[in-house]
Amino acid sequence: MALHEITAAGHGVLLEIAYATAANFTGKPVYSRPGCYLHPDAEAALERAVELARPLGLRLKIFDAFRPSEAQWALWNFRPDPEFLADPRRGSPHSRGVAVDLTLIDGRGQALDMGTGFDAFTPLSHHGSTAIPEPAQRNRFLLLGLMSAAGWDFYKNEWWHYQLFDSRKYPLLSDADLPEPMMALV
């Protein structure tokens, strides 16, 4: 099954692929290039979310989408925390091409306040946390509503993570399944 590349111009999103930079919980790049791919079913749900956000003057900024199984192992080996990371032996929805990590941005390209940053592995990142300011709670519920209406399920511990409801029916994929590798050759 071929994954579809998600592009800023073709999908109306902003891409800021965190694992291709040091701006992630490992403090170093995990990917050698900033690719963004989704299974066609997830791409269709992403397009619905983009359409729902547009009339509100909002856009989606994507931090991560398909994550090669090799990358899931690298993240797990750095921090084996099942509260925030899928054990690679079971597989992540990201490694199936049916999950996306994202936030909302306004018309000026500014990210809406979500109370914590992406990859903040803390209870403050949980959906429904009331320990964050009320405007951030509203922004999280807005994102949750848009994504849910577009056909996405959420992960209770990460406000930024959404996946297709039946994610386990999709096969695990690796870097070799991409048209151009994302992982550094070792």
* Catalytic residue IDs: 158
User: The tokens of 118 are what?
Assistant: 């992406």
Kindly give the residue spans of alpha helices, DSSP state H, lying in 54-153.
69-78, 134-149
Q: What is the CA radius of gyration of the chain?
A: 15
CA 111 – CA 18 distance, rounded (Å): 15
Q: Are strands 14-15 and 59-64 parallel, antiparallel or unpaired?
A: parallel
